[in-house]
Amino acid sequence: DSGVTQTPKHLITATGQRVTLRCSPRSGDLSVYWYQQSLDQGLQFLIQYYNGEERAKGNILERFSAQQFPDLHSELNLSSLELGDSALYFCASSGTTSGIGEQYFGPGTRLTVT
């Protein structure tokens, strides 16, 4: 168990809808990362937050947004969903006790857009 929790585990929704994925980092970790894993694109970095502030942005679509709250949990919002957004979304966290590149991954949320 990595200590990172993600809810829900599975999500099935229709095109055009909006969903929110939630992540709770390991206790004390200030950094949260979001990744998208799909068969064709592999594992892609979306966005990073550090102690409530956006720190780095990757291949995140404008339809997607994220935030990190004062209690350090994070939410990834996906709107105007398309079939191609179906993927596994991972959250990871790291903190002051983490080594270089050491991130702790949650079990993921599998999103299916129909």
Partner 1 sequence: GDSVTQMEGPVTLSEEAFLTINCTYTATGYPSLFWYVQYPGEGLQLLLKATKADDKGSNKGFEATYRKETTSFHLEKGSVQVSDSAVYFCALTHTGANSKLTFGKGITLSVRP
- Please check whether residue 114 is in contact with residue 14, taking contact to mean a CB–CB distance below 8 angstroms: yes
45-104 positions binding partner 1, by CB under 8 A: 45, 48, 50, 55-56, 58, 90, 92, 94-96, 98-104
State which residue, 44 or 86, has the beta carbon closest to partner 1: 44
Q: String of b and e for 23-47 (b: at least 16 CB within 10 Å)?
A: bbbbeebbbbbbbbeeeeeeeeebb
Binding status of residue 2 toward partner 1 by CB under 8 A: yes
Binding mask of the shown chain, residues 5 to 44, with x at each position contacting partner 1 by CB under 8 A: -------------------------xx-x-x------xxx
